Structure 1
């Protein structure tokens, strides 16, 4: 990969026992001050970050394979983004676009309309979080169709608000104890090639039959799907699954919503994951990588659908905050200037090359994903999910200075989400730590 310039040394450094004394002291404060439900994964408290490293208060430098859950794609302290944030904040930090508007909101909407799939007329609304974007997509689809039902899929993750908890498949920790949930949400079977062995068309027909029989097309406002599922296990549906669903939606006047919150903005080696099969969604939800770490999300889609809600029906106090808009505009330019779409493809090639060292291990059922969104599914001797091994590997990696995340309904999937600006040598080093951890515990 092309060499980039970094502010911090791009190396893994461990100073001693993890966590160090300063982090241990902050943990004691956290346990008294912060709700118990929030349990950080990294042992150290971060004070600096750049490229592919996180530096904690004790001087440890970790290789970061999480990037804030696919947020800091352009880097956690990208100079262009930092400069844009500082410049915007020096003028005004907030006015509320609904009250007193500003140009940067319009500029971000224009760029989203340009970058997202399809050459039809589009409009956008800016919000704060991925869950908020999904909720608003549902609102827009209901206003447009006059229908109520929402179709989601097995293994889906869409957020932590009441409606998006209903749309999310995994119970613990996301839903347990938090019901009752929003009504009119129906779940269909997802294409999961490793487990179901179906072609894309076969899996689509299975889902469509269930939807038609149990919900009825006349009741459906929208179908919401992650083109590559995130928390559910980085599941890439079989080829043809997404196009078949899109065609069925078109035939039945159902709004097709692509949830690209984790997969969007160059992460998969395309601007958006649905582009890999030429799928053009009616609405697309984005967040995470959109603004270099600043809280921003959006719904972008066909102008006639986006204009369906009544005037005043969309919005929010902080949505499209001017500082976050400045960050997004800088991030878009960095994605183009640094060719992060091409770099994501290079990252995938390196990941697959390094993980090929595990080809002889039956515990690795599959390496899957696209671009810098790749996962390993781990199983036991009987081919069943192996969450214990997965947790052991994640802990071993963290102990050795590499931060990785796990996912999947069965907790048996290791997901890799490095920043798209990570240097090649650091990427390879971290992957070799992961390989050794799997071999140690397999």
Structure 2
């Protein structure tokens, strides 16, 4: 048997078996990669190469942005920013039927974009909105579905840690271009959720928000401006070339901490707990990046992406069909794998194939992340699904049925993003961040 085929079989079968028996995904990827490497080189050189790749994979200035953005998100999740954004979203949603559902969606888009975490958004916004919606007579299952379905928009609307990981593993795709490319797809996802909520709100005859005066609305918006300024400062600075994404992430930490201290929602004694929480999350992500670099080396050395490309081309040479196959694979993968490891594993496999067909790396990155965002709300593993159901005090099976219309719309938007690349590359193009 050819060495490359043997390494590929050992790699993917080992990962699958280890995941099935309950081994954590980072350990599964690391062990499977080392085992596959032993088919290429001897044990001594294999261990040495694995150690080198592990440290080389995390030796990146760009990667420092991830722990800072994670820390900023944890600070904001504890810093009373969510309620201000909810109030702001309530004003923006106006008096449409089911206004509180639209408020929930807009708040998730705002908070998710600031914190960069879909799970944090579903927890912070969901816990704030659930009592308000229940008080107005909203069905709890419907409310939970709205919160769960809209939370992943923050993984597309920048700053996004998942896009930073993609930038790293794709060989240096511009973070600024990826950030700008995420805006329209993220907004389209949110608008899709709002359309579904509007239709269902009319069917269920849900209440509208109470009318508020212009002065009250103005006060609410002014109260939210300091929180919203974080995105303007960080993203504006990165796009304007004032600082890098890594420097912007540090600024996000300082700004969110100062804001929380001003709001008096975080005390100095809370900082060790916040730092510990951020460190736990960061360690998981960084370790995943490290072990995935071993896997990337094995796949590159044995030309596994080339073998997979040949396999796809033997089925069809139609780019539309190939993109559809990629989408189906990624949607399936997203149901049992978190976005970060999925990006680390599947970017080296699918990106070379996509580029060989003339697909822009920025467009492919958005398509990839959009796919995996859908996976976060899909059983059996979807983390946003679990958190959203827990916040609403419901079982997973209770929210699956009301979530289905939102799932259908998100897949429809995914296909739109896939086959209309301008939705991803138009904005970075007009800002001079991308030449595609």
TM-score normalised by length of structure 1 = 0.29
More helix by share: 2
TM-score normalised by length of structure 2 = 0.29
More strand by share: 1
Q: Which has the higher contact order (CA 8 A, sep 6+)?
A: 2
